[in-house]
Structure 1
Amino acid sequence: MPELIRRPFVFLRHGQSTSNLAQRIAGQRDVPLTAQGEHEARQAATLLAAIDWPLIVSSPLARARRTAELATGRAPHCLVGGLKERDWGTYEERPIPETMPYLLAPDGGERWDDFVTRIVATLNALLLEHETPLVVGHSGLIRVIRYLDTGTPEGPRTDNAIPQWVAPRGVRSWEIRPLQEEDVAHLPRVTASS
């Protein structure tokens, strides 16, 4: 199993997308935010827009990119293809099943192990260069962290547009919880000249 560099970051899942609303698997389909999703992203700005982030990165998919813009008041520093959601192959556009087959390889899609390797390599490259970056992406990223932490991707879906603090805990565990002001108190604040 690949290892994630043990440095904290802030994760923001995109706001509600048209696929979320329809309860369908989007995967790597480039679907937009709904009006509700845009509202959710603007709500995240209450905490995120005041911070002068050392790095704001986003998946290039429109739902994540737009969320990053609305939640921070500016465009991401860069779009990172490695942050895209898992390619669900023939599952894309299908209704979300009660139990997702995370560990199975979807026809024409990305194997779970390949997805984990991609997400970990992408995060490691970011964490090696930047302290406490803001990463805007998809729920699959948190499933990967959960898998590294507990050995299973199963668990509740990450809420749309609720900033999450993702940090090492102990020797091998990871903490994933809603972001609090004190988590990012060490980061500079946006000033009028920024």
Structure 2
Amino acid sequence: MTQLVLRPYWFLRHGETDWNARSLSQGRTNVPLNAKGLAQAATAGKAFARHFENEKIAFTHIICSPLDRARVTAEHVQRAISEAGGPHLPLTCNEDILEVSFGEQEGLPMGEWYNPWIAGEYTPKGAEPFADLRERAVRGVNKAIADADPGMALIVAHGGIFRALRSAMGLEPNIRLPNAVPVYAYPENGKWHLKIEGEFEA
């Protein structure tokens, strides 16, 4: 099993979509941000821009999932940092941090099958097993970290990717990250920690 490189990175889940608001499983379905999601993306961008004040550099590269909801969120962050006087950071898409395919569950309400799916006891028909998702997510983030070296990466992706990364970090995986909340992941003494802006706790 591929291990996550012990180097810090930032993570941002995309802004809200109509399917998020209705608690539907999105997976690979390319649902766009809604009005609230666009506002959340702009707010996240402003929050990140503050990390670049006084000539500080929070991260050097933005790597996003190619799905529109993640890519547009990443573009808002890129633009907000630049407009606030920070650098115009490179933004690239990475297929390995594409959201998990939920197969026949896509478009249906989120249910109680997440824990059995994570445990490898159940996979919806046509869906990606959690173990495969975890392997892919770790590969994608490791590549993003390597591409950003000697700087730091911001990963803009999805809730399923976040669960997979939590699992790879030795943390409880089935924790729902709110839309567009910046997360700083960092290793300390061989263990991963998450610093999450706002009221949400890891």
CA RMSD of the aligned region, Å? 2.0
**Which residue of the partner structure matches residue 119 of structure 1?**
137
Corresponding residue number in structure 2 for 1:31 = 31
Q: Cα deviation per residue 1:26-84 (whole Å; 9 max; x = unaligned)? A: 00110001100011111112222364642111100000011111122178621111111
Aligned with residue 146 of structure 1, among 166, 171, 184: 166
Q: Secondary structure at the match of 1:71?
A: helix
Alignment of 1:65 with 2:71, yes or no, is yes
TM-score, length-normalised on structure 1?
0.84
Q: Which residue of structure 2 lines up, in the alignment, with residue 157 of structure 1?
A: 176
Distance 2:178 2:158 in 1: 10
**In the TM superposition, what are the counterparts of 1:183-194 in structure 2 within 5 Å?**
none
Percent of matched pairs sharing the same residue = 31
Secondary structure of the corresponding residue to residue 109 of structure 1: coil
Task: Find out whether 1:135 has 2:155 as its counterpart.
Answer: yes
**Consecutive unaligned residues in structure 1, runs of 5 or more:** 181-194
Distance 1:47 1:157, change over 3 A: same
Q: Tell me the secondary structure at the aligned position of residue 169 of structure 2.
A: helix
Query: Displacement, 1:177?
Result: 2.2
Partner of 1:110: 128
CA–CA distance in 2 between the matches of 1:106 and 1:75?
A: 38
Partners of 2:89 and 2:7 lie apart in 1 by: 24
Counterparts of 2:131 and 2:197, CA distance in 1: 28
Tell me the secondary structure at the aligned position of residue 23 of structure 1: coil
Q: Which amino acid aligns with 2:3?
A: E
Uncovered stretches (5+) of structure 2, i.e. residues with no partner: 80-87
Q: Which amino acid aligns with 1:70?
A: H
Question: Take 1:76 and 1:60, find their aligned partners in 2: how far apart are those partners?
Answer: 15
How many residues are aligned here? 178
The Cα shift of 1:135 comes to: 0.8
Runs of 4+ in structure 1 off by over 4 angstroms are none
Read off the aligned partner of 2:25 and give its amino acid letter: I
Q: TM-score, normalised by structure 2?
A: 0.80
Structure 1 contact 102–153 (Cα < 8 Å) conserved: no
1:105-160 alpha-carbon deviations (Å, 9 max, x no partner): 22111111111111111111111231321110001222122212336522x30111
Secondary structure of residue in 2 paired with 1:37: helix
CA distance in 2, matches of 1:33, 1:179: 21
